[in-house]
Amino acid sequence: MSPTLHHILSPIVLFGALGTIAILSLVFKENKFYRLFEHIFLGLALGYEVEQDWTKILRPQFWDPMMHDGQWAWVLTIPVGLMFYGIYTQRFAWMSRLLFGVFFGLTAGTVFQDFGQRFMPQVTKSFKPLVPPPPKIGDHHALLHQISFVVNNALFMVILVSVIVYFFFAFEQKNKAVLGTARFGRFVLMFAFGAIFGSTIMTRMALLIDRMYFLFVEWLRIAPQ
């Protein structure tokens, strides 16, 4: 058997190629070949996730502290975790609701804190100054920089106010000035969504090119590496 044919029939490479072809076959129509490898992929992903949970979370934070450090208090987390399964019985459903309420409250507090830390700086930075800073000594393009500063910040504020007006539904937008501002905000939003959609398409194309490279170069080797 030639080295090229031996590489093509290698179990790992062949399985990867068949999986790629199976997933891409969905482009034509739904088929059993695609569903087979979809279930295989989900099973592998679930097994990998379980292994990662044990390796990175349960073993270093639960098992090892009990077995090696004598922190036997962690054993109390087992009955607490089993309370979640009370949702499957009418008699012990209150246990699961109690835990769900506690964890929902903790999660909500964490999300609110993360929301404030992530978006409040964006809110404060949205207040752009329209007065340019004093020019630097020796800056021969000071006037151009000041004009660019004012134009950029003014354009940013116009777009920001227009988008806010578009999403302001407290009253019916009958005034022509308000209606025109809202329409401009809608136009800017469509422009931004189009740019995001184009970026998404480029990301998908990059993934497709990677899979085509695997099939034609790394598997079939019909093109130079």
Residues 6+ apart with CB under 8 A from 142: 135, 136
The domain tally of the chain equals 3
- Domain termination residue (choose one: 45, 70, 95): 70
CA-to-CA distance for 89 and 116, rounded, in angstroms? 39
- Domain termination residue (choose one: 61, 93, 125): 125
CA-to-CA distance for 70 and 54, rounded, in angstroms? 19
Of the candidates 211, 207, 204, 203, which has an alpha carbon nearest to the alpha carbon of residue 16? Answer: 211
Q: What is the pLDDT of residue 2?
A: 58
| 149 and 219 assigned to the same domain | yes
In a domain, 138, yes or no: no
Q: How confident is the model at residue 132 (pLDDT cuts 50, 70, 90)?
A: confident
In a domain, 85, yes or no: yes
Contact 216, 223 (CB under 8 A): yes
| 85 and 49 assigned to the same domain | no
* Boundaries of domain holding 222: 143-225
Q: What is the pLDDT of residue 194?
A: 96
pLDDT at 9 over 80: no
| 61 and 79 assigned to the same domain | no
In a domain, 137, yes or no: no
Tell me the pLDDT of the chain averaged across its residues.
89
CA-to-CA distance for 219 and 211, rounded, in angstroms? 10
| 193 and 224 assigned to the same domain | yes
pLDDT at 135 over 70: yes
| 77 and 46 assigned to the same domain | no
Q: How confident is the model at residue 1 (pLDDT cuts 50, 70, 90)?
A: low
CA-to-CA distance for 21 and 34, rounded, in angstroms? 9
Report residue 180 as tokens: 């025109």
Q: How confident is the model at residue 55 (pLDDT cuts 50, 70, 90)?
A: very high
In a domain, 22, yes or no: yes
**Mean pLDDT of the region 131-150:** 83
Tally the C-alpha atoms within 13 A of residue 222's C-alpha that lie toward its C-beta: 6
Q: What is the pLDDT of residue 206?
A: 94
In a domain, 57, yes or no: yes
pLDDT at 223 over 80: no
- Domain termination residue (choose one: 55, 70, 85): 70
